[in-house]
Chain A
Amino acid sequence: MSTRRDFLKTTLGASSLLAVGGVVPEFLASTARAAEKEDKKKDTILVVIELTGGNDGLNTVAPYGDDLYHKARPTLAFGKKEVQKLDDYHGLHPRMNELKRLYDEKRLAVIQGVGYPNPDRSHFESMDIWQLADPKRGHTSGWLARSIPGMSVRDAGVPGMYLGNERLPVAIQGADGGVISLADRASFKLQLTGNQANRKALIEDLNGEKDTGKADLAAFVRKRQLQTYTSLKKIDDALREAGGSGQGRTNEFVGGRVVQRDPDDLNTLSGKLGLVGRLIQKGLGTRIYYVQLGGFDTHSGQAEMHAKLLGELSTSIGNFFNGLQAEHSERVAVMTYSEFGRRVKENGSRGTDHGSGSCMFLAGSQVVGGLVGKHPSLSDLTDGDIKYHTDFRRVYATLLDDWLEVDSRGVLDDKFEKLPLIDRKKKAPAGSGPSKSNNPLPPGALPDDPTAPGAGAPPVKEDVPPPVEK
């Protein structure tokens, strides 16, 4: 009850500013920016990266110090010299130098052994379970969609946004009007036939009319109308600045080979994250951004594809944070997940088959960096799969309660023990933080080509089985 009243009060508090007369979206945008400075602590943002296809957790966070790993992966395992070492046992995939950097800066949590009971090895079924956050699948709306009604969103912001051209992911389905899809630009575009500019001007002009000074409903609607146009403009601007050749289709496999796109291409992960970064810096109120990176279903010839994908993931996340100004960077957390991990033992085609249990990453300045949970034992397997020990909903619950400030119980129907992932008081460690040296780069630009052989990372092994090292 009181929330709505308070909400109305706070939203309209600044509306007397409109009394100035003329309607200038820029003016609104600047008040939005001002408001944002005050509120930024509250307006935390979660960027979710779905790794579609079942990411091989074992070669993402490799237990290189374990003989069993090398035994199970004669052609795929990484040796001591290859991994991005986290400690004497764990190493990140060789290509993930940017994530290693974030790890060293204590801005990356590596959550191990994540899964759920009675794992399903069907892509579709398991994706549903992760996205509904409900192994029983009683829900039909996604966990993020369910969190939206309880989420506070500044101004007229759209709470959730999906960037991509697939069907809206289940995780954000079911929040009518709370989520927009930037693939379907037509759905977030003002449709005006005839003389668009004139009409838009007329609507803004009419809505900028008379501020009676009263915090009434009509003033609220007028303000919302203008804010909507401001949001549209921000999104359009952000898209325009994206540059990108705009060529090409969805993902990056052509004839079994990875095709690298222009890094600003909005069909790539880096392009999408670059766009997310620009939207965040423009002060769009959106709290949840959802993007996908596909191609993780590596049944054969895994080494090359997996390297490209994880390289792209790592570089994109690194650049994303580099491109954000510090004050924005502080309120962003990036989470990755996949529907399942893969079998411990590699198959006969130098690939891996569907398994269960995997790892998740959580990156951000206020993320408590480090390894979370033990690496699942490779000697105690179920049906050839590692045993999970951390229910993924514990990660969700932590993000909901500690980051997005939405009651996790209402979203997940149950209370899940939280993980020590978030520290809202944390300052960026001295000497690190959004690295200044990289800042001049336009958002989305790549400092180096992640796919160039050996670019900042050891080369990916091709055929030669590694010597077993300890």
Chain B
Amino acid sequence: MADALSSDLTKVDPSEAWKPWKPASGEWNRKWVSHLYRRAGFGATPAETDKAIADGLSKTLAHFMTGDPDAADRLELLTETGKYYTEPVNLRVWWLYAMTEGGHPLREKLALFWHNHFATSYAKVRSTKLMYEQNVTIRKHALGTFRPFLLDMSKDTAMLVWLDSNRNVKGAPNENYAREVMELFSLGVGNYTEKDIQEAARALTGWHHDAEVQKFEFNRELHDDGNKTIFGKTGKWSGEDVVRLCCDQGACAKFLVSKLYAFLVSETPPPKALVAPLADQFRKSDYDTAALVKTILGSRLFFSEHAYHKRVKWPVECALGAVRSATGERVPLADVVDPLSKMGQALFAPPNVKGWRTGTDWLNSATLLARNNFAEKVAVGDWSRNGRGRPPQQFGFVAEPTKIDEPKPVDTASAPAPEAKHDVCTTIFAANPKDVAAVVTQMSTLLYGEAAAPAQVKKLETFLLTPGPTAGAAPVAPKGPKPKSKGPTPPETKSADGTKTKSEPEPKPKKAEPPKPLDPKDVKLDSPEFKARVREAYHAMMCLPEYQLN
């Protein structure tokens, strides 16, 4: 067996990095299965994890490459049904359905990548039909080869609308598409000149959509058929030639590989030499995306700490991952659409042609709050029933702030349990945990694919063992100190003791001291109170980097 990869990324031998990983016995475990499923798909259900462990890495990876045996049938069905949606929200649900139920998660994952790469928005295109058609084109090429893909996208009607192609005419070229095809779609900044763009725009003149905005149409009248010089080559270049010339540039493979690396491996920019072998492979294969992806996903580097948790989950990954890992049954995907846009990723509506700002840019107070709130929905099983929406939230500026925060005296036990099919507890208790520790283990396995850090485990156990405040003891004055607030002293001694002895905060009106953790023996694992706390703890665990990172 080869030596372990250096922990210093700059010292990792590129020729070793991309060799297939050969896990030693026991190394192919939940942690790495979950990792693979998060990156190659949208997270694993418990059953999928079990199966993958039994199958081993190479069989699992092969399965990702082809999808389920009936994936082709499902694709046909999906493609047919997608035609009929006229509302963006429905189209979004349709795609989410394709991601979770299409039988080919890797294809959908790459489709998501390419959607961001060829970022086109309904906001300007204003047609679900065109957005659907572009999505079908993307799906078709997602794991195909790049040249025909780029050509199809260059003639895609939604794209033509999006980048004003009809304004690009002989004598008055509009450079919008010519610029983006080089800057964003194939080469990246610094690999072309302004002159290249001007000339390419001329070559693309007349690449229009028809008057009905239904399909591509070559307008010969408005095409400039003179000589153009692009990348130093002169000829009567056409739009097809622009695509070909871009793909012939050495920068093309490097550019695409670096984007795929960030998407599949890590958002830490790699040393150039590290990705050079991938770019070589991509170029030599004439842009065989599937082969490249397979190399990456099977590699030693992919299954190393250089990749593990080195990306911030995209909102789609965050939402679907939570859904898949936690709930045995399908949830109403329509419930996912709105949270996704609050998290900053409304499908079919990236903010501009550069696509979403990914990485740490996904997280600000508003988007992270949306992640927290979606996690709550998952944890408490708060889904609309049978697809029927719930009444809209109260709306209004005058929200009586004081009332908002005053926690209502909560009787956890009486909170209605979610429907069993959407209850995280169903999944968590499926393995019949014997004690509180086993419950915590089960939760972290489901969510993280591995055990939580020991210090976290301890806090979670304490939380699970501590009965909620009774109806009278609940509200802490909104402005008052947090019940837990304790000095920065011993981080270990959580819970009641510290609070009581130490800071005994503001003189609170004769409140009883906070409840203490019960003896584990006294906790009934199947009681509604305990399960309510499990759901709460589950939510808290989704608000940690262990869940937010991919």
Q: How far is the CB of B276 from chain A (nearest CB, A)?
A: 18
Among the listed stretches B59-67, B142-150, B474-482, which one makes contact with chain A, having 4 or more residues with CB under 8 Å of it? Answer: B474-482
Known: A156-B368, A176-B349, A191-B373. A203 touches B343 (CB 8 A): no
* Most B Cβ at <10 Å: residue of A24, A198, A205, A247: A198
Interface of chain B: mostly helix, strand, loop or mixed: loop
Give per-residue flags for A160-176: 1 if the beta carbon is below 8 A from chain B beta carbons, else 0: 00011100000000111
Residues of A within 8 A of B412 (CB): 194-195
**A217 near B310: Cβ-Cβ < 8 Å:** yes
B519 at the interface (CB under 8 A from A): no
**B544-A195 in contact (CB<8A):** no
A405 contacts the other chain (CB 8 A)? no
Does A239 count as interface, using CB distance less than 8 angstroms?
A: yes
Contact: B124 with A138, CB < 8 Å? yes
Instruction: Tell me the A227-256 residues at the B interface (CB within 8 Å).
Output: 227-228, 231-232, 236-237, 239-240, 242, 244, 246-248
CB of B463 within 8 Å of the partner chain: yes
A5 touches B540 (CB 8 A): no
Find out whether the CB atom of B400 lies under 8 angstroms from the CB atom of A246: yes
* Chain B residues closer than 8 Å to A335, beta-carbon distance: none
Chain A minimum-CB-distance residue to B351: A149
In angstroms, Cα B538 to Cα A193, docked, is 13
Asked whether B536 lies within 8 Å of A177 as measured between CB atoms, the reply is no
A182–B395 CA distance with the chains assembled, in angstroms: 10
| Known contacts A146-B352, A246-B398; A189/B404 CB under 8 A | yes
Q: In the complex, which residue of chain B has the Cβ closest to the Cβ of A2?
A: B269
B244 within 8 A of A: no
Tell me whether A188 and B366 are in contact in the complex, defined as CB-CB below 8 angstroms, given that A1-B269, A165-B397, A195-B474 are known contacts.
yes
Q: Quote the shortest CB–CB distance from B502 to chain A (angstroms).
A: 11
**1/0 contact string of A333-364 vs chain B (CB within 8 Å):** 00000000000000000000000000000000
Smallest distance from the beta carbon of A150 to chain B beta carbons, Å?
10
Contact-size category for B? 35 or more
CB distance from B531 to the nearest CB of A (A): 11
CA gap between A245 and B486 in the complex, in Å: 36
A455 to chain B, nearest CB (A): 26
B548 proximal to A (CB < 8 A):
yes
Interface segment, B222-230, B232-240, B357-365? Answer: B357-365
In whole angstroms, what is the CA distance A344 to B334 when docked? 52
On chain A, the residues within 8 Å of B474 by CB distance are 195, 197
Q: Point out the residues of chain B lying under 8 angstroms from A224, CB to CB.
A: 360, 363-364, 368
Tell which of A149, A203, A205 touches B352, judged by Cβ atoms closer than 8 Å. Answer: A149
What is the CA–CA distance of A176 and B401 in the complex, to the nearest angstrom? 25
Q: List residues of A (263-293) whose CB comes within 8 Å of B's CBs.
A: 265-267
User: Are B415 and A21 in touch, CB under 8 angstroms?
Assistant: no
Binds B, one of A206-214, A367-375, A416-424: A206-214
Are B380 and A190 within 8 A (Cβ)?
A: no
* Interface residue? B430 (CB, 8 A): no
* Contacting pair B394 A186 (CB below 8 A): yes
Is B545 touching A24 in the complex (CB atoms < 8 A)?
no
Residue A14 at the B interface, CB < 8 A? Answer: no
Q: Answer yes or no: B25 CB below 8 A from chain A CBs.
A: no
Distance of B517 from chain A, by nearest CB (Å):
12
- As a 0/1 sequence over residues 458 to 481 of chain B, the CB contacts with chain A under 8 angstroms (1 = contact) are 011001001011000011101100
Q: Pick the most buried of B368, B397, B494: most chain A CB atoms within 10 A of its CB.
A: B397
A4 within 8 A of B: yes
Complex contact A183–B397 (CB within 8 A): yes
Interface contact B364-A225, CB-CB below 8 Å: no
Are B489 and A21 within 8 A (Cβ)?
yes
Please tell me if the beta carbons of B363 and A209 are within 8 angstroms of each other in the complex.
no
Contact B396–A165 (Cβ < 8 Å) = yes
Within the complex, which residue of A159, A196, A203, A225 is in contact with B407, where a contact is CB–CB below 8 Å? A196
On chain B, the residues within 8 Å of A158 by CB distance are: 364-366
CB within 8 Å for A217 and B309 given contacts A210-B455, A246-B398: yes
Taking a contact as CB atoms closer than 8 A, the residue among A140, A187, A219 that contacts B342 in the complex is A187
Q: Whole-angstrom distance between the alpha carbons of A201 and B310 in the complex?
A: 27
Question: What's the nearest-Cβ distance from chain B to residue A77, in Å?
Answer: 37
Which partner residue on chain B sits nearest A173 by CB separation? Answer: B123
Assembled-state Cα–Cα distance A200/B469 (Å): 14
- Ordered by A's residue number, 5 sampled pairs between the chains whose C-beta atoms are within 8 Å are A165-B395, A176-B351, A198-B468, A199-B540, A217-B545
